Amino acid sequence: MNAPREAVIRMYAAREEIYPRETGGRYATLRWACVWLTQLLFYGLPWIQLNGRQAVLFDLASRKFYLFGIVFWPQDFIYLAALLIVCAYGLFLVTAVAGRVWCGFACPQTVYTEIFLWIERRIEGPRSSRIRLDRQPWTLEKLARKGAKHAAWGVVALWTGFSFVGYFTPVRTLGGEVAALALGPWEAFWVLFYGFATYGNAGWLREQVCKYMCPYARFQSAMFDQDTLIVTYDAGRGEPRNARRKLAGAGDCIDCSMCVQVCPTGIDIRQGLQYECIGCAACVDACNGVMDKVGKPRGLIRYATETALAQRLGPAGIRRRVLRPRVLVYTVVLGALVAAMATSIALRNPLKLDVIRDRGSMGREVDDGMIENVYRLQLMNTSEAPHKLRISVAGIPSAEVAGDDVVEIGPASTRAVPVRVRIGPGAGHPGSNRIAFTVTGLANPDLHVSEEAAFIVPK
Ligand code: SF4
Ligand code: SF4
């Protein structure tokens, strides 16, 4: 008797290789402008020097972040939190207005995939050649082309990993270590790790990152409404399709499949909005090219909103509906957050002061019956300039700093200063008295910071 056959249930579909066709047009130009802009920034920023050090450096070892002359310390973590909130609101706002425009034009996954695809096309040829090459058996030519492609990808990936680590270790030092083959183990690990992630994501995984791994793709539909810009196929104008261009009364779509061939996620936008669509508008460029050739108006596939399609609104009608409550709320919150953050950074006092009383010595009587307490002042200079500072004390009549009251502190540094404070006989009451230390810039009296402390008078 034959054993019953087990049903096989596949939990996910095997990936089908996608060979996006190269396309030109307004949106392709815009995407390449984004590639150049983002990569010039990413690769170039670590090489800019300011005040004798890297202008943008996240120095984890000394727990200082340098950002164009502003130094952030661990105490400034609030700014990082605020920056993340600003980025989140910025993304909400952009998504509510223009859908997945970030995904299609500026997301690192899109940008690096675009770069890797460009290399692939230069080495393996256009779409049809790439398909043929993949299907043919291994030959010397295939080996050479594939080897050259992966070598070029590897160079870009390693340079990306190197640039990434250059934000955390001074990039010039890092470059010297690479040249001398003396890279530290952690730096080597992160260069390879980030490089490998770039190579894997942009070279192999590509659209699968957007489809299966990106959390933003999952929740952004919650920010869409019927007035959000999406890439849409105008079915009212395109259907019924006119493949042979002979049907009387048929639509403008000639069923050439160019929109599918250029799509980096391999979908057919004519089937309606799909979660795989990253809004890159490659299909818009491709279809516009086809419409030009067949002498029809452009825009069969275009950026539009559901409302615009239903009510046949043009660009002016779409613009009129942009300012809706959701967009206004995001804009107001974002504007307020940015203004609050900028004001807080602009007004930030570069001096910080902590006072620690020397618990080893209680108040003691010194010369002429004066009472002395000893403190340790922890000074922090968060600016990129050195400062000469005067230490003064108030709160008890006759209170003064004994000894030298002027200290110097270097740029972006901390310094511990032992300070003795004396008061005259009879000043203050037995027990604990409140005093306040003030540290003032000698060259700039507006630069000052105060901190309270206790002065102990023996009973
Ligand atoms: S590119 Fe335009 S004409 Fe060609 S199949 Fe797509 S929608 Fe139809
Ligand atoms: S359907 Fe069009 S916009 Fe969406 S991912 Fe494909 S090519 Fe880009």
DSSP track, 54-118 = ESEEEETTTTEEEETTEEE-GGGHHHHHHHHHHHHHHHHHHHHHHTTHHHHHT-HHHHHHHHHHH
Q: Pocket residues for ligand 2 (CB within 6 Å)? A: 231, 262-265, 267, 269, 277-283
Contact by Cβ (8 Å): 398, 427: yes
Q: Pocket residues for ligand 1 (CB within 6 Å)? A: 233, 238, 253-259, 270, 286-287, 290, 300-301
| Bond from prior residue into 240 cis (ω within 30 degrees of 0) | yes
- The confidence band for 12, taking pLDDT boundaries of 50, 70 and 90, is low
- The confidence band for 268, taking pLDDT boundaries of 50, 70 and 90, is very high
pLDDT score, position 70: 86
> Ligand 2 centre and the CA of 265: distance in Å?
7
118 Cβ contact partners less than 8 Å away, ≥ 6 residues apart: none
User: Which candidate, 377, 381, 378, places its Cα nearest to that of 348?
Assistant: 381
> Ligand 2 centre and the CA of 206: distance in Å?
14
- The confidence band for 192, taking pLDDT boundaries of 50, 70 and 90, is very high
| Range from 143-147, 347-351, 357-361 that averages highest in pLDDT | 143-147
Q: Is the pLDDT of residue 361 over 80?
A: no
- The confidence band for 76, taking pLDDT boundaries of 50, 70 and 90, is confident
Among 18, 269, 273, 303, the mutation site with the greatest number of ligand 2 atoms within 8 A of its Cβ is 269
User: Which candidate, 419, 223, 247, 431, places its Cα nearest to that of 327?
Assistant: 223
Contact by Cβ (8 Å): 91, 216: yes
Q: Is the pLDDT of residue 51 over 90?
A: no
The gap from C-alpha 69 to its chain's centroid, in whole angstroms, comes to 19
* pLDDT tens track for 377-390: 999 998 888 999 99
d(CA 133, CA 145): 9
Residue whose structure tokens are 């939190």: 81
Q: Is the pLDDT of residue 363 over 90?
A: no
Q: Does domain 351-457 have CATH number 3.30.1050.10?
A: no
pTM comes to 0.86
The protein residue with its alpha carbon nearest to ligand 2, atom 6, reads 263
User: Which candidate, 205, 272, 109, places its Cα nearest to that of 283?
Assistant: 272
The protein residue with its alpha carbon nearest to ligand 2, atom 7, reads 263
Q: How many residues are given for the chain?
A: 459
Which ligand minimizes its atom distance to the CA of 262?
2
Quick one: three-class SS letters along 1-14? CCCCCCCCCCCCCC
The gap from C-alpha 28 to its chain's centroid, in whole angstroms, comes to 23
Give percent of the chain with pLDDT exceeding 70.
97
Contact by Cβ (8 Å): 124, 149: yes
pLDDT score, position 62: 87
> Ligand 1 centre and the CA of 19: distance in Å?
18
Mean model confidence pLDDT for the chain: 92
Q: Which ligand 2 atom is nearest residue 280's CA?
A: 8
CA distances from 284 to 59, 233, 350 (A): 44, 9, 51
Q: Is the pLDDT of residue 391 over 60?
A: yes
- The confidence band for 459, taking pLDDT boundaries of 50, 70 and 90, is confident
Structure token digits, residue 215:
């959390």
Residue 410, SS3 per DSSP = coil
d(CA 101, CA 89): 15
Residue 207: Cβ within 10 Å count? 20
Q: Which burial class, exposed, middle or buried, applies to 356 when counting CB atoms under 10 A from its CB (0-12, 13-18, 19+)?
A: exposed
Q: Is the pLDDT of residue 1 over 60?
A: no
* pLDDT tens track for 269-325: 999 988 899 999 999 999 999 999 999 999 999 999 999 999 989 899 999 998 889
- The confidence band for 327, taking pLDDT boundaries of 50, 70 and 90, is very high
pLDDT score, position 364: 87
Residue whose structure tokens are 């996620």: 265
Which ligand minimizes its atom distance to the CA of 269?
2
d(CA 454, CA 433): 5
Q: Which residues of 304-324 are buried (b: 16+ CB within 10 A; e: fewer)?
A: bbeebbeeebeeeebeeeeee
Contact by Cβ (8 Å): 382, 391: no
The pLDDT of 410-429, averaged and rounded, is: 92
55 Cβ contact partners less than 8 Å away, ≥ 6 residues apart: 45, 48, 49, 66, 67, 68, 69
> Ligand 1 centre and the CA of 291: distance in Å?
8
Q: Which ligand 2 atom is nearest residue 278's CA?
A: 5
348 vs 197, more confident: 197
Q: Which of 17-31, 92-106, 245-259 has the lowest mean pLDDT?
A: 245-259
User: Which candidate, 93, 109, 4, 39, places its Cα nearest to that of 338?
Assistant: 93
- The confidence band for 8, taking pLDDT boundaries of 50, 70 and 90, is low
Query: Greatest CA span in the chain, whole angstroms?
Result: 114
Which ligand minimizes its atom distance to the CA of 300?
1
User: Which candidate, 72, 75, 46, places its Cα nearest to that of 169?
Assistant: 46
User: Which candidate, 377, 417, 383, places its Cα nearest to that of 64?
Assistant: 383
The pLDDT of 188-194, averaged and rounded, is: 97
Domain with CATH 2.60.40.10 in the chain: 351-457
- The confidence band for 10, taking pLDDT boundaries of 50, 70 and 90, is low
The gap from C-alpha 211 to its chain's centroid, in whole angstroms, comes to 21
How do 448-457 and 53-54 pair as beta strands?
unpaired
Q: Is the pLDDT of residue 14 over 90?
A: no
DSSP 274-321: -TT-----HHHHHHHHHHHHHT--S-SEEEE-HHHHHHT--HHHHHHT
The protein residue with its alpha carbon nearest to ligand 1, atom 6, reads 259
Among 267, 274, 284, 301, the mutation site with the greatest number of ligand 2 atoms within 8 A of its Cβ is 267
pLDDT score, position 132: 97
391 Cβ contact partners less than 8 Å away, ≥ 6 residues apart: 377, 401, 405, 406, 407, 417, 419, 437, 438, 439
Q: Is the pLDDT of residue 101 over 70?
A: yes
CA distances from 403 to 302, 424, 451 (A): 77, 15, 20
> Ligand 1 centre and the CA of 389: distance in Å?
72
